Amino acid sequence: MSGMRWSWKIATVAGIPVRVHATFFLLLGWFFWTGATRSLDEAVRSVVFILAAFACVILHEFGHALTARRYGVLTRDITLLPIGGVARLDRFPRKPSQEVAIALMGPAVNVVIAAALYLVMRFSPDTYDFSNPALLERSFTARLFVFNVVVTGFNLIPAFPMDGGRIARAIAWRVTGDRLRATKIAAGLGQAFSVLLICGGLFQIIAFQTLWPLWYVVLGLFLGQAARGAVVQTAFAERLGDVKVEDIMDREPVAAPADLDAERALDEFFHRYRWSWFPVVDAAHHFVGIIRQERVDGAVHSGDGRRTVGELMDADDGDWRVGSEDSLESLLSSEPLRRHGALMAVDPGGVLRGVVTIEQVRRALQSAVAPQAPAS
């Protein structure tokens, strides 16, 4: 339920965590080492280019993420890997047309970047002759332009899980009306393409005695695994159906009023229920924060027992809440649920409607994957 293993958050942009995987630093090290075989300046230039290229990759992934947000699909995080970026969405789009729009917006970002770089070169005082291979060696701008063109073309190959494969799935979904079947079709194309990449990479390694094509092998393995995983994930999501948070949550949560003083809170909530924390609500029953026993104990023991729960609570920053109408599928990757053990289910107006715990999610999943009894 947490982010990808061996990855670290480096920023949060537009509410979306941006993470970098440990293996990405191997890529930086590789380019630095190969550049250093010529000169230190070349090593630095190589690393700077890779960082610029992956900045374009991040923008590509934000193209997906921000388009998905328009359709109510949230992005869990964006992770940088040596083979590119991955934007993890919290659920599938509801319609094939939405999936097409989300998939296309990533390559569209690269097209815009490539066009901007072309204009820079077109109106530059320097002469850019694209028929001259040496151009890529000496021009940072030209190399970045070509990178974005290649990324656009490569991502539009109709092999899942690349953007072209997602478009192919959307088309198959529209034709068949069955998302799982469409995923299997697109994943089959992705697995076939991954085999071509692996075989082609191994052939080049043997034929040309170089390790550079190893990148194709790694990419092929990743794509093949992702394609197989997509089929499993889709089948699982289909099994969950339309189960929502409100279907599994506790609909009668015990919540402390924000205007309650610490002495009464200690007696009426912590001593009575023996829990270490409670959700806090205002007069209109909006969820506003979490009150912890140590804060209340501290206030009472220091003679500040008249202070209110609202003054002592940890104010809600969005980390403790989930929409009561959100899908169960969206909870499967919830890092806050894993960290806190429970989340407050609120309606669109922020009113507390229930509490969903990690144990309730587990039981719901067990019910979803349990074999169905045959009809008598």
- Cα separation, 188 vs 146, in Å, equals 29
What order of strands is seen across the sheet that includes strand 342-346? 321-323, 342-346, 352-357
Q: What pLDDT is recorded for position 313?
A: 96
| Amino acid identity at 223 | L
Looking at residue 339, its pLDDT comes to 85
Predicted local confidence at residue 375, as pLDDT: 41
* Cβ atoms 344, 277 nearer than 8 A: no
Bridge partners of 322?
Answer: 345
The per-residue pLDDT for 1 is: 38
Domain ranges of the chain: 7-240, 245-368
From first to last of its 376 residues, the chain has per-residue pLDDT tens of 345 668 889 999 998 999 999 888 888 888 888 877 888 888 888 899 999 999 999 999 999 999 999 998 888 889 998 888 999 887 788 899 999 999 999 999 999 999 999 998 888 766 566 566 566 556 888 889 999 999 999 999 998 889 999 999 999 999 999 888 898 999 999 999 999 999 999 999 999 888 888 888 988 998 888 888 888 777 777 777 678 899 999 999 999 999 999 999 999 999 999 999 999 999 999 999 999 999 999 999 999 999 999 999 999 888 899 888 887 877 776 778 888 899 999 998 999 999 999 999 888 877 766 555 444 3
CA distances from 189 to 217, 293, 348 (A): 17, 55, 40
Distance CA 221, CA 367 (A): 33
Q: Which DSSP string corresponds to 52-109? A: HHHHHHHHHHHHHHHHHHHTT--EEEEEEETTEEEEEESS--SSHHHHHHHHHHHHHH
Tokens found for residue 84: 């590119």
Domain 245-368 has CATH 3.10.580.10: yes
| Residue closest to 356 by CA, chosen among 247, 272, 243, 281 | 247
Evaluate whether 76 touches 3 at the Cβ level (below 8 Å): yes
Give pLDDT, residue 32.
85
